[in-house]
Structure 1
Amino acid sequence: MKKWKWIGMAMACAVGMVAFTSCDDDDNDDYARVPDAVTAAFSHQYGNPGYVEWDSERGGYYVAEFRKDGRDHEAWYTQAGLWAMTEVDYGRSLADLPQAVQSGYAATAYALDAWTVDDIDEIQRPDYETVYKIEVEKRGQADHDLYFDLGGTLYRDVEGSGSGSGNGGMIQQGMPAEVKAYVDSAFAGAAVVDFDIEDNGMIEVDLRHGGKSVEVLFTAAYEWVMTKTDCSRDVPAVVADAVRQALPGARIDDCDYVQTATESYYLVDTDNPDRDLRVTPDGQVTQAW
C-alpha cells in the first residue's frame, strides 16, 4: 500500500479518465472488479479526486488509493459499500499535525531521546475520533508505533510492528453491547478514540470526555475494572501540596487519576527520575518508587 504505480498503470489505464476505472493490480492476482456499491460510496464521500487505484485486502475490503489536498489517501470499504477507514499519509512532517499532537509527541521519551520519525498516518473511522499514528525508529532498538488522540495524549505504544505495517487492524468491528452500554451511561457524550481486546482478553476503551483522555478497562466478561483519566499537570491543590512535601523542589510531569471498585488515587510522575508517587484524593502519599 501507499505505492503509486503511475508508469505501469498508465499503460493499462489512461490517467484522467473516470476515477473508478478498473485495472488489474500486479500485487493482487485475484483482483476482482470493484462492486458498484463500493464505487458509489467512494464517489459520494470524495467526489472525483482524479486518478484512483483500487486494491483488494484480506477480509473482503476494497481500498481506494488517491491524492487529495496534496496527501496520499487510502479509503477502505466493505463489499457492501460501507466506509470502514481512511488513512492519510503525512510522511514525516510533524509540523503539519495539530498543535496538541505535536506537543504530545514532544513530551514523550522518544522525542526527548532523539528517536527518528519514520512515518505518520492520520486514521479516520466511522463513530471513532480521528487518531494519529507516529512510527519511530532508533538504531539498535525495536520500532514503535505511537497512537495519539486529538488532545495529544499518547494512549497506545506498540513495539516492533515496523514501518509500512499498515493499519488494517485499526478497522473496528464494534464494541460488545455490554461495554457500549456502560460507556454510554458513565461517559455520556464522550468521543470514542479506540477499542482494543488485549492478548489476555481484557478490553480497553479509550475516550475523550470532558476535555480529558480517559482509558476504561473491562474483563473478558465485560465487567468494569478500572478507569484512568489523564490529568496532565492539572491536579487538585491538596495533591500538589502532598507532592511538594514528599519531594521538595520536584515538578509534576504527568498525572493519571485512577478509579477502581475499591479505591481511587492519583499516579503522579515527577521530574525526579527516581521518585513517582501514588497519592489519595485527600493528599495521603501511599506509595513512592
Structure 2
Amino acid sequence: MKYLKTIPYIIIIALTFSCNTIQAQAPKAVQSAFENKYPGENDPDWEKDSNGNYEAHFKQKGEKYRADFSPNGQWIETESSISKGDLPKAIKAVIKDKYKDETITEIEYVTSASKGTFYDVEFKRKGKNKDVEFRANGNIIN
C-alpha cells in the first residue's frame, strides 16, 4: 500500500520522459530542414501526425507557429492561429454571405510549399468540422 502513493510520481516521470522522446524522434533531415527554414529557433516541440509527417511547434516574437515537414525533411507548410478580426475584408464578406449560419472554431494563416499563402477557416459541423481555404481576395481554393 505504501507504493500506491508513489504511482502518481512515477506516471509524471514517465510522461516527461515520453514527451522528450517524441521531440528526439524527429529525424536529422527534419531537424536540419527546420533549422535552415527557421534559423535561431532551435528548441521546437516535435510531434508526428497521422500522415507520418513531423510537426514543429515553436514561437517567434511571441506568436505560436506549427511547421510541418515530411519524414525526409521537406517543408510542407507553416500555420499560425489568428482571430476573425485579422481576416481580410474580402474573406469576411464571403463568410457573411455563404457561411453566415456557421460557427467558426478556428482560423489559421497558412504558408504552404504547394498552395502558397492562404487562410484556413474551420467551421463547426456534426461529426467532422469543415475547413474552407481562402485566398486574401476571398476566393475559395478547396
49 and 97 in structure 1: CA distance in 2 versus 1, 3 angstrom threshold: farther
Aligned to 2:52: 60
> How far has the Cα of 1:69 moved from its partner?
4.0
Contact 2:76 / 2:114 at 8 angstroms: preserved in 1? no
> How far has the Cα of 1:47 moved from its partner?
1.8
Distance in 1 separating the partners of 2:50 and 2:132 = 24
Distance in 2 separating the partners of 1:132 and 1:66 = 20
The normalised TM-score by structure 2 is: 0.70
Aligned to 2:21: 24
Which SS does the other structure have where 2:36 is aligned? helix
> How far has the Cα of 1:51 moved from its partner?
4.3
Distance in 1 separating the partners of 2:32 and 2:112 = 18
Q: Give unmatched runs, 5+ long, in structure 2.
A: 1-11
Q: 1:121 aligns with which of 108, 113, 137?
A: 108
> How far has the Cα of 1:32 moved from its partner?
6.0
Matched, 1:144 2:134: no
Per-residue deviation, residues 107-137 of structure 1 (Å, max 9, x unmatched): 32x22x3x32211122322142222121223
Structure with more of its chain in strand, by fraction:
1
The structure 1 segments of at least 4 consecutive aligned residues displaced by more than 6 Å after TM superposition are: none
> How far has the Cα of 1:141 moved from its partner?
9.7
Contact 1:41 / 1:81 at 8 angstroms: preserved in 2? yes
Q: 2:90 aligns with which of 88, 100, 110?
A: 100
> How far has the Cα of 1:146 moved from its partner?
2.2
Matched, 1:153 2:123: no
Which SS does the other structure have where 1:39 is aligned? helix
80 and 96 in structure 1: CA distance in 2 versus 1, 3 angstrom threshold: same
Matched, 1:81 2:73: yes
Distance in 2 separating the partners of 1:142 and 1:59 = 17
Per-residue deviation, residues 131-171 of structure 1 (Å, max 9, x unmatched): 21212237x89843222122212344xxxxxxxxxxxxxxx
Distance in 1 separating the partners of 2:109 and 2:27 = 26
Larger Rg: 1
The normalised TM-score by structure 1 is: 0.38
Aligned to 1:47: 39
State the aligned residue count: 129
> How far has the Cα of 1:87 moved from its partner?
2.1
Q: Give unmatched runs, 5+ long, in structure 1.
A: 1-7, 14-21, 26-30, 157-289
Q: CA RMSD in A?
A: 3.2
Matched, 1:38 2:27: no
